[in-house]
Amino acid sequence: MQHTTLIVPGFHGSGPDHWQSWLQTQLPDARRVAGIDWEAPILARWAAEVRREIDAAASAVWIVAHSFGCLASVVAASDRPDKVAGALLVAPADPARFGPLGLADEGAGAQDVGPWLPSAQLGFPCAVVASRNDPWVKLTVAAHWADRWGACFIDIGAAGHINVESGFGPWPQGLELLASLQRVHEDLPLGTVGGRPGTHKGRQGALARLRHHTRESMEFRPSSHV
């Protein structure tokens, strides 16, 4: 199956030494999501850009996301199961650490974006890779979301946040994980896992609900927009 690999970094982005940057050089079909302010983790805005990239892709998309990028990716991809071939979600950040307007400890208003994430099987093959000593999410929390999303859960031991600081520059094992997922699911028709319907638009989509919630939280900031 022809596909595009969409790289979705997390909060602060993924610099040149990050495994996502290395992975991008290994895959001729890879591109990084654009249009995101990596220093402003506003979930609705990030998810909108990820969904835009999914819609713009000429072929099916494999998502490779890290940290907060995982949260944005599942919101965007849950609206487009007919365009997403699968996802590798590495070290997903704990949604309780974020409110709709940013980090929860920075006065982001109503806390915890967890209720606005998909809470059922995503509709495409998915794996969550987690660490036992990740400062951004407890292993049990990562496992909880993997179970909700119908994802394969992969515990790689004490690996920090699976980023440059914890020693993850070039990451051949991550590349092999992605290749293994693709080999297993390459013949699976798009949008069929769990019997989920196809593209979601309008007010019923995950992104539409998240945007509505975010706007409510931004009422005290009339000059802002999503």
Supply the Cα-derived Rg of the chain in whole angstroms.
16
Mean pLDDT of 13-18: 97
**Three-state secondary structure call for residue 205:** coil
Share of the chain above pLDDT 90, in %: 73
How many alpha carbons lie under 13 Å from residue 135 in its C-beta half-sphere? 4
What is the chain's mean pLDDT, rounded?
Answer: 88
Structure confidence by residue, pLDDT tens digits, 81-117? 899 999 999 999 999 999 999 998 654 445 789 999 9
Task: Say if residue 47's pLDDT is above 90.
Answer: yes
pLDDT at 58: 92
Confidence of residue 60 (pLDDT cuts 50, 70, 90): very high
Q: Report residue 14: phi and psi, to 5°.
A: -120, 110
Nearest to 200 by CA among 188, 208, 192, 189: 208
CA distances from 125 to 13, 74, 205 (A): 25, 12, 20
| 156: nearest Cα among 175, 179, 173, 178 | 173
Q: Is the pLDDT of residue 224 over 50?
A: no
> In the CATH scheme, what architecture does the domain 3-217 have?
3-Layer(aba) Sandwich (3.40)
Q: Output the CA–CA distances (angstroms, integers) from residue 10 to 45, 58, 169, in the order listed.
A: 13, 24, 15
Q: What is the pLDDT of residues 142-153, one digit of tens each?
A: 999 999 999 999
**Separation of alpha carbons 215 and 205, rounded Å:** 16
State residue 111's pLDDT score.
72
CA angle in degrees (0–180, nearest 5) for 137-71-40: 90
Q: What percent of the chain has pLDDT over 70?
A: 83
Q: In whole angstroms, how far apart are CA 44 and each of 75, 101, 188, 225, 226?
A: 9, 9, 29, 10, 7
When pLDDT is averaged across residues 42-53 and rounded to a whole number, the result is 97
